[in-house]
Amino acid sequence: MQHVTIFRDPGRYAGWPANYGIWSWENEIVLGFVVGFPGQSAGLHSRDKSRPFVNVQARSLDGGLTWQIEDFPGHLPGGRGLSADEHVNDEISLAAALATDPPAPLPGGIIFAHPELALMCARTGLQPGARSLLYVSYDRCRTWAGPYGLPMFGQPGVQARTDYIVLGLSSCLLFLTVAKADGREGRVICVRTTNGGKSFHHLADVGGVPAGPDGFSIMPATEQLPGGRLLTALRCRGGDRAAGQDQHWLDLYASEDLGRSWQFYGRPQTFQQNGHNGNPGTLDLLPDGRLLLTYGNRDEPYTIGARLSADLGQSWGEEITLRTGGGNRDIGYPRTAVLPDGTAVTAYYFNDEPGGSGPRYIEATVWRP
């Protein structure tokens, strides 16, 4: 097990790979994330909301052992950061920029089966009325076309992160977080295109909303298993945060009909402490047929964890700790790339100074499950 620093700058705040994505082609890996500035914000994230977050990506050509940082090679409306409005003041938000620099209509003609395809979904913020965008690359993330505006699907808001399954040349599923009736993010839908991205239609809701005023089920991470079953991991929260009675866990849902219907499939991870807002997981199929789940664990002592399943998600082994030494709960949001030889490259954001006083940085753990 080897820890590799991808991006670390004592004067910057880097975070949230799960909001953007990881893409790989044999031993070439590309990871998306954002970089802003540290500050004294109250709550979980100590960032300076008066200064911008900018999108960058990191590329490894040797299976995650070394990385080069690249500017995001696509159009950012108004030069604003994607999927980061909750971390900046309104006047420098992406939502404000879209008023004068709107996304293009969905293009159609997307070749989903292209061998060097990458898709990235992005959003404004988490507020009511949030909008989402789609980017497309055919050259391993060296250039991105877009942004293209995703529909609202009749929802109060769409707060997309990158999660998709290619079904064919012109067919693809997107898994999107959408708002509850009160406008706050809270549940997941599955949408499909059959015409190369010219349009998408709502196939089904994935699960429901956990009980409690702060309940949500968000941030899907989906894998297609041998035989065609779809399995998605959802980040879940229930209870009442203000009363200190919130709970956090990861749920699995399965579809046997390419996303048209979904059934609860298990709860592989339950976090034990409240008040930390949970963390998303990510699913990956290993070459030997086992299934890998990785996640940030914001329970003290603040770690990056993993579990393995030998029966495609029906049961899970004990937690494997990939990274220890977190400074506070401001960690996680992992994405994992699996190499042809079975090596896993799990990337996440982390901090390692007591009380979270140090920088937030991007790291990868390279390991053999």
Q: Pick the range with the lowest mean pLDDT from 70-84, 236-250, 283-297.
A: 236-250
Question: Does residue 41 carry a pLDDT above 70?
Answer: no
Question: Does residue 116 carry a pLDDT above 60?
Answer: yes
Calculate what percentage of the chain has a pLDDT beyond 70.
Answer: 99
pLDDT for res 102: 98
161 alpha-carbon distance from chain centroid: 5
The CATH number for 306's domain is 2.120.10.10
Neighbours of 176 (CB within 10 A): 27
Structural domain total, the chain: 1
**Residue 76 and residue 55 in contact, taking contact as beta carbons nearer than 8 Å:** yes
Query: Using 50, 70 and 90 to split pLDDT, how confident is the model at 43?
Result: low
Query: Using 50, 70 and 90 to split pLDDT, how confident is the model at 249?
Result: very high
Task: Name the average pLDDT for the chain.
Answer: 96
Which tens digits make up the pLDDT trace of 139-169?
A: 999 999 999 999 999 999 999 999 999 999 9
Amino acid at 64: G
Question: Quick check: pTM over 0.85?
Answer: yes
Question: Does residue 277 carry a pLDDT above 90?
Answer: no
**Residue 293 and residue 315 in contact, taking contact as beta carbons nearer than 8 Å:** no
Query: Residue 126 sits in which domain range?
Result: 2-367
Region 8-37 average pLDDT:
98
270 alpha-carbon distance from chain centroid: 19
pLDDT for res 241: 83
Which tens digits make up the pLDDT trace of 163-190?
A: 999 999 999 999 999 999 988 899 999 9
Region 103-125 average pLDDT:
98
Question: Does residue 42 carry a pLDDT above 70?
Answer: no
Region 89-109 average pLDDT:
97
